[in-house]
Structure 1
C-alpha cells in the first residue's frame, strides 16, 4: 500500500508542477474570466460608441413616425433620421462612415409597408433583424387599419393559442423538471467528454513518457502492475479534480458578480434549483465510473507504446468511442425514449452518458440504472485485470506499436514474468 501512495502522489505532484499543466490551467482560467464577464466587456467597448445612425427615405409619407416609435421599443440604440436626400448622396455618406446605412420605406402593390435596407456591409445582422421586426409590427397595425379592425380585434387575432401538456403516467416528470434535467445532462455530457479527452490522454502520455526514459523497468520490478496502474489513474484523477475545482470556483465567482441583472440566484438562473438529489447523485456516480472506465483503458493502451509520438495513434479508437457516445447522447436529448438510446445505454463505453441521459429525463425503474452501474463496475473490474496483465508486459515492450499484435505480445510477456 505504501508503494501505491508513493506512485499516486508522485504522479499528482509531478503533473501539478509541470509547465504544461500550469499554462493550460491559467489560460483556461483567463477564458472563464472573460466569458463570465462578457456582458461587462461588451458594455465597456460599446460605451464610447455613438448610437447606430440610419437615414430614412419615406416614400409613403406616412410610415416614418409609426416605424420610429416601434423601433424605439425594439432597439433604442438605433437612431433614425428622416431625409429627403437622394440615394446617391446617402450611398456616399455610408461609404464615408458618416451613417451606418439608410432605409427606404414604401408601400407595395397590396398597399402594405415594405422596406429596403442598404449598408456598406451586411455582416452585422442585429440591425437589419431589429428593423425587420419593427416593420412587421407596423405592418400588422397598418393592415388592421386597412381591414377596419378594432384594437380589441387585433389583440384577439394576435393572442397566443392555449396549448397545455399533461403526462398520463403519475410518476412522469413535468416540463419544468425535464428542462432542468436536460440542462444538467447537457452539462455532464460535456464534463465527461472533455474529462476523458484531456485526462485519459494525460494518463497514456504519463506511461509513455516513463517508458521512453526506461524508468518503467525499475518501477515494474518494485511495484505490482495493477498497483502502479491504478495509482497513476487516481493520481491524474486527483489532478483533474484540482483543475476542475479551480475552474468551477473562478467561473462561479465571475458569474455570480454579474447576477444583478439576473432573476434569482446562481442555480435558479441556470435552472438547477429544483434538481432532485437522486439526479445529482447519479451524475456523480456515472461521471466517476465513466472516468475510471476510460482511464483504465488509456493506461494499458499507453503501456503498449514506447514512443510518445505513438500515443495519439493508439488511443484514437478510444477517443472516437467517446465522441460517438457524446453524439448519441446529444441527439437523444430531444427523444430520450428512442430505442437506440435504450439499447446503447447498456453498452459500457456509452453507459455513463446514455444511461444518465435516461435517468435524468425519464422515470425509470430502479433496476435499470443499477444494472447500468453494475455493468460499468464489472467492465472496469474486467478491464483492470486484463489491463494489468497487458500493462505488466506492455511496459517492457519497445519498438513500433501495432495495436492488437502488441496486446497479444504484452499478454505473453506478462505470463513469462
Structure 2
C-alpha cells in the first residue's frame, strides 16, 4: 500500500508544482473574481456617462412636446432638444459632433408619427434602437388618443392576465423548485464536462509521457499495473480537487463580498444557494463516479500510445462520448421527463450527467437512483479489470500506435507477464 501512495504523491506533486497548473489556476481564478466584480469593473471604465444629445425638428408641430415630457423618453439615456433652424443647419451641427443625432418627425396619412434619423455613424445602432422604441411608444399614445381611448383603459387592457395554477400531483416538483435545481444541474454538467475532458486527457498524456521516456518499465516492475494505474487516477483526482477548492472557494468569497453585483444576482436567480442539501450529495457521488469511469478509460487508452502526439487521436472516441452526454443533458434541461433522457440515464457513459439531471429536475424513485449507481459501479469495476490487463501490456508496447486494434496486442502481452 505504501507503493500506491508513493505513486499518488509523485503524480500529485509533479503536477501541482508545474508552471502550467499554477498559471492556469491563477488565470481562471482571476476570471472568476473578475466576473463576480463585473459591475464594478464596468462602472470603473464607463464612468459617469452623459445622455446622448439629439436634436428634434417637428414638422408636424404636435409631437415635439411629447418627447420633452416625462414618460415616453424616460430612462432611454437620450435628451431631446427642439431645433428651430433648418434641417441643413441641424445636420451640420451633428456633423461637427456638437450633437449625437438629428430626429425629424412628421405625420403620415393617418396622422400618426414617422421619423427620419441622422447620425454620423448609423452602424452604431444603440441610439437608433432607442429612438425607434420611443417613436413606437409615441405612436401608441397618439393612436389611442385619436381613437378616443383614455390612458386608464389602455393600462387596463395591457395589464397582465391573472392565471392561478394548482398542482394536483403532490410528488411532482413545482416550477420554483425546478428553477432552483436547474442552476445547480447546469453548473454540475459543465464542471463534469470540463473536468473529464481536462483531467482525462491529463492522465492519458501522463502515461504516454512516462512511456516515451522509458520510465514506465521501471515503474511497472516495482508496482502492479492496477496499483500504478489507480495511483495515477487518484493522484490526478487530488490535483483536480485542489484546483476546484481554490477556484470554487475564491469564487464563493468573491460572490459573498459582492452579493448585490450581477454575479450575485445571477446565482440568486438560478437558485444555486437555495437547493436541498441532498442534491449536493448526489452531485458529489455522480461526479466521482463519472470521473473514475472516464479516468480509467483514459489511463487504459493512454497506455496504448508511445508518443504524446498520438494521445488526442486515441482518446477521441472517449471525448465524443463526453460531448454526446453533454449535448443530451443540455437538451434534457428543457424536457427532463422525455423518453430519451430516461433511457440514456441508465447508459453508464451518460449516467453521471443525465441521471443527475433527472434527480435535480424531477422527483424520481430512489430505486432508480440506486440502480443507476449500481450500474456505474459494476461498469467501473469491469473497466478497471479490463484496463489493468490492457495497461499491463500496453505500457510495454512501443512503436507506432494509435489504433483500437492495439487492445488485443496489449492483452496478449499482459498474458505473457
Pairwise same-fold verdict (TM > 0.5): yes
Offset at 1:12? 0.7
SS at match of 1:74: coil
CA contact (8 A) 1:286 1:353 kept: yes
Q: When the two structures are superposed, what TM-score results if normalisation uses the length of structure 2?
A: 0.93
Residue 330 of structure 2: aligned partner? 330
Alignment of structure 1 residues 102-113 onto 2, 5 Å = 102-113=102-113
Distance in 2, Cα, partners of 1:283 & 1:122: 50
Alignment of structure 1 residues 136-215 onto 2, 5 Å = 136-215=136-215
CA contact (8 A) 1:263 1:269 kept: no
Q: When the two structures are superposed, what TM-score results if normalisation uses the length of structure 1?
A: 0.93
Residue 70 of structure 1: aligned partner? 71
Is 1:341 the counterpart of 2:341? The answer is: yes
Distance in 2, Cα, partners of 1:355 & 1:41: 39
Offset at 1:120? 3.8
Offset at 1:355? 0.9
Task: Could you tell me which runs of 5 or more consecutive residues in structure 1 were left unpaired when the two chains were aligned.
Answer: none
Distance in 2, Cα, partners of 1:388 & 1:91: 79
Residue 280 of structure 1: aligned partner? 280
Once the two structures are superposed, residues 110-141 of structure 1 have per-residue CA deviations (whole angstroms, 9 ceiling, x without a partner) of: 22233344434455444333333333333322
Residue 14 of structure 1: aligned partner? 14
CA distance 1:48–1:26, shift in 2 (3 Å):
same
Residue 221 of structure 1: aligned partner? 221
Offset at 1:96? 4.7
Offset at 1:251? 1.7
CA distance 1:289–1:161, shift in 2 (3 Å):
same
Distance in 2, Cα, partners of 1:264 & 1:37: 9
Residue 256 of structure 1: aligned partner? 256
CA contact (8 A) 2:286 2:352 kept: yes
Offset at 1:260? 3.6
Offset at 1:102? 2.8
Distance in 2, Cα, partners of 1:263 & 1:394: 47
Alignment of structure 1 residues 52-67 onto 2, 5 Å = 52-67=52-67
Offset at 1:51? 3.0
CA distance 1:317–1:144, shift in 2 (3 Å):
same
CA distance 1:311–1:266, shift in 2 (3 Å):
same
CA distance 1:149–1:167, shift in 2 (3 Å):
same
My pick for the range that moved more, 205-214 or 260-269, is: 260-269
Task: Could you tell me which runs of 5 or more consecutive residues in structure 2 were left unpaired when the two chains were aligned.
Answer: none
Offset at 1:202? 0.9
Superposed CA RMSD: 2.3
Count, aligned residues: 416
Residue 384 of structure 2: aligned partner? 384
Residue 366 of structure 1: aligned partner? 366
